Each structure stands twice: as C-alpha cells, then as structure tokens.
Structure 1
C-alpha cells in the first residue's frame, strides 16, 4: 500500500495481479485485499450520512484485486508433475548421460566432421530444454545406435528410444502452447483458446502411459487457471468462443462487466476517489446492458 501511495496509484485502479502459482504469491494478493477492506471499513465509519456504503460479498470481484495465475507457469507445473515422477526421471537421466558423453571433445568433433548437429544438454529446471535435448537425440538416433555398438556408455535400448519418441510427442503441444503464451499481442480470452487447443492435442495423442499422465496433470492444473468471473467475462466479450458459455455463465459475465463499468465511472469522478467503488450511484441510462 505504501508503494502504491508513493507512486500515486489508487488501489481501485488495479484490477488484477498476475503471479506464478506459489502459495506465498497467492497469499500476498489476499493480504492486499484484506488491507484494502480494513481501510475501506475505517473510511466508511468516518463518513457521515453514508447509508449506501455497504460491503457486500458479491462486490468483491470489482472492488478488490484479483489474483491471476500465470498461464505459462501453470503449463510448466503440468509438465513437471509428469517428468519429475521417479520412473520418468530415471529414463530422462539415461538420456542426459548419453547427451553429456556426446558433448565431450572427441564425440563432438566426430559429429561435427560427419555433418551432424551437436548433442544438447538440458537445464534440469527448464523442462523445455529437456524436450530439446531428447528431440536432438532422436535426430541423432542412427549415429548413436552405431556408436552404442562400440561404446556401452552410448548404448540405448529400444525401450529407451520408444520412451523418447513418446515423450517428445507428448511435450510438443505443451512446448507450442508455451510459445504462444509468450506473444506480446494476447488478450485474456486467448488463454482459454490456447489451453483448449492443448487439451485437444493431448487427447489425440496415441494411447500410452505418458498420455494418461499428462492429461491428468493438465486437468488438475487448468481448473484454477480458468476459474473466476473476470475470465468468464473475457470469454463473453470474445466472439470466437462466446458460444462455449452456458446461460448462467453469460448472466455472470454481464454482471461482472456492469460492475466493472460502474467501477470505471467512479474512478473518473474525483469526488469518489476515497469511497468504496461499487457503491457509486449509476444512472439506468449509463448501464452497459439493457
């Protein structure tokens, strides 16, 4: 609150704060709203003849600051839920050992002289680098198979190659979705489209254990990401996907938009700068919906 005041920012001007999924980040936004509510309660007590100033639970969506979870970080958690399981981790460790061996001076020179691309070593905290590492091993499969007949450290079983093929196929939709979320020209509703595309692509993967694991992880994580009246309102305002909303969701979206409209109207009027936002009297002619 002190920082906002230093920069002349009215907290009511802040609609959302985008954070990762860490519990401390989610709690920080909740603490900010609690501080705001306490401040509003003090101001309401000090006001004279303010019967209309009343805190209602339904007003919280527009009077408070909502926490929006980062889409890219949520996708990262989905992937980590799978690749950090012990069985998957062991297979990835095997792939990493081969990549490290291929990065030594001798084998790196051999690959270069043969016109092959160099092996790639991942950063274990960046799943997309693990995806690229295994993708590169698949590209080098023929030469690795030949070298594996000479050097046991480079030998990979057919089960290992099958695992790599299935993992790259499963990770590719997540990798593509992450790249889309890095665009500088996205609106809130694009997140819904990207996640639905991701869900569709994963469901259409060949049937195997990895597919089941990734679907479970995606279903577990995406619910918290897509919930909230603001997100419903964003979908309603996007003609590409409005049809996906139910009748009750449309009603919720309209109420949310109307509430935000009144909030903006109040912010325009300096006389309401220190009053509770949603209590601003709004003329029927000003309402955005009939």
Structure 2
C-alpha cells in the first residue's frame, strides 16, 4: 500500500486546484434561528422583563401544592424554558395559556401577592403569536432528513408568516424586531451558494430564487461539475509538472509526465457550455408540488438528467443543521455518566455506533 503522506504530496497541486473558491462551511440553520429569537428578546427590554414574570409564574405553578390542584383537574404541569433553546419559550407560554382557567382555583399565598394581571395575560398572548412562526421553524429544522432546499423553504415560510402577522398587529415593536432579525439571519444563511444550488435543483422550491440567485447557483453547480470531472480532464500547469514528487515513479512515468500536454481551452469551454445548458434547461421545468418527494423526483429522472442527478446527490445530502450531532451528544450522557465512567474510548465508540444506528 502506498504511503498516505506521499499520496497527499503528489496530489497537493490537484487538491489546491479542485477546491479553490468552493465553500466548506455551512452555518447551522437551527442555531441561526435560535440566535434570531435570542437577539430579538435581548433587544426588547420590556419583553425580556415580561418573560421573567411569566417564568417566575411557571415556577410557582410547579410547586407541590399547585401541581396537586392541576392533577385533580387532569391538567399537565407547567413547563420551564431552557436558556440555551429559545424555542422552548414558546412551549412555556403556550402551556401557561392553557392553564389560565385553572389558576383561579389556586391559593393566593402561593404567588406572594404577585399574581398575573389581565394585562400580563394579554401581553403573553401577543408573545405567543409572534413566537409561533419561529417555533414552527425550529421544529421543522429538527427533522431527521431535510435538505438545504427544505431549510430555505422553512425560513421563507417563517418570514411570510411574520409578515402576514404584521397586518394583524401593525404596531408591535416585538413583532417588527423579530421579523428584522429573522430576515437578517436568513440573509446570512441563504447567501451560501451551496444552499442556492440546492434550491435550484429542487423543482418544488426553485421559484423562490430570483434571477441573480439562479445565476449564482448555476455558476456554483458548473464549478462543482467541473471539479467532480477533473479525474478525466484535469492537468496541472506545465511549470508545476516538473516540481511534482518523483519518488517511487519509474523512469518511463517520469519521462511521460514531461510530455503531458494540458487539454485545450476548447475542451474545457465545451464542457462548461454543455453543463450550463443542461442547468438552464432544468430551470424551465414545471414546478413540482411542495408536498411531493424530492428523492422520488430524482430517482424517476435519474436517466433523463444523469449529470444533474450526480450533482443533486452531492448537494442534497449536505446537512443544513447540526441537530443530529447535538442529538448524539445528548444520547452520550446516558451512556457515559458518573455511575459508568470507566469505559475505554474504544468501547464507548462501539456502544455509541450501535446505539445511533439502531434507532
């Protein structure tokens, strides 16, 4: 077997050529949505103070006396939000709203004279309406199998819902700030050309792109196609050929390398023109229903769009969130804990592999 380091050195020029200008980082969409909600609450001081009141009220509803009353009425107990997950704030407020009819049966001394006023309840209902689109967005982003185009569509849906809500609540600073922050984060998330390429190769959501975004997606997909095709057409510049490592090569191979001639510009130009034409023609296809399956579409059109299918496999399998990784970390604490902390790295890895792949 050839030495791995030697293979890396021999292909260093190839790697640098293939990967130039290709993005390697995709922001986690779930984390970006979480930041948008957090930024909104931190900017709105009145909202932040009101949420503290709601949080304290939830804590008082979780005392033994309050829980006994709620259980007697067949009600679920109050929830508490998690500071690192702003989407849980919506669940806490929604549960409080459901428990409102039963809070009147609780003794007043539990609240130390600081019971919720009617104004507090009205503010809470407004917060629930504003947080609902982002809560739905966070829930959708936690799905196990989503493509980058799904992420784009979920964000767009949340923005549209907030804009529709503005017609009902025209003078809501909290809503306006939420919409601004969500749009700002979405602009950052959707600026990645890989996400634009995923939306372009998704016949369900391609219409969401404007002409400039489509051109950017086509340019990226063309470059990606040429990169994947370098096995056949790539040749390093002639001034670099003589600098490639010759260790382990026969004299004949070294001599043949000096005779290599890079492909003519016409060959590269024809390849680029061909794939760009296929991509432009694909953009003229009729839209598929948003409820249809992206996987089924590409399986059915694999032979018709063979080259585009290869690109779709690469693009649509790129993860748009780190939810799965975070979920695996959460599972780790059930395997490695204070009662079971002597596992070797080897055993721990094998246990986790089995656990993650048997769900």
TM-score, normalised with respect to structure 2: 0.58
1:247 CA displacement: 3.5
Higher Cα Rg, which structure:
2
Partner of 1:81 in structure 2? 39
CA displacement, residues 18-43 of structure 1 (integer Å, 9 cap, x when unaligned): xxxxxxxxxxxxxxxxxxxxx99x96
Partner of 2:143 in structure 1? 183
Unaligned runs of 5+ in 1: 11-38, 48-52
1:165 CA displacement: 0.5
Q: Is the 8 A contact 1:147 1:155 kept in 2?
A: no
1:174 CA displacement: 0.9
**Quick one: which of 158, 171, 194 aligns to 1:230?**
194
Question: How many pairs does the alignment contain?
Answer: 240
Q: Is the 8 A contact 2:32 2:185 kept in 1?
A: yes
Is 2:246 aligned against 1:288? Answer: no
Partner of 2:131 in structure 1? 171
Q: Is the 8 A contact 2:60 2:111 kept in 1?
A: no
Q: Is the 8 A contact 1:78 1:221 kept in 2?
A: yes
Distance in 2 (CA, whole Å) between partners of 1:126 and 1:250 is 34
CA displacement, residues 150-171 of structure 1 (integer Å, 9 cap, x when unaligned): 6553611122101111111111
1:267 CA displacement: 5.0
Give the secondary-structure state (helix, strand or coil) at the position aligned to 2:26: strand
Partner of 2:56 in structure 1? 97
Q: Is the 8 A contact 1:148 1:156 kept in 2?
A: no
1:137 CA displacement: 0.8
Is 2:179 aligned against 1:220? Answer: no
Q: Is the 8 A contact 2:60 2:110 kept in 1?
A: no
Distance in 1 (CA, whole Å) between partners of 2:89 and 2:7 is 42
Distance in 1 (CA, whole Å) between partners of 2:24 and 2:136 is 28
Q: CA RMSD in A?
A: 3.6
Distance in 2 (CA, whole Å) between partners of 1:104 and 1:127 is 24
Distance 1:202 1:247, change over 3 A: closer
1:238 CA displacement: 1.6
Matches within 5 A, 1:150-161: 152-153=111-112, 155-161=115-121
Distance in 1 (CA, whole Å) between partners of 2:108 and 2:221 is 66
Distance in 2 (CA, whole Å) between partners of 1:226 and 1:257 is 16
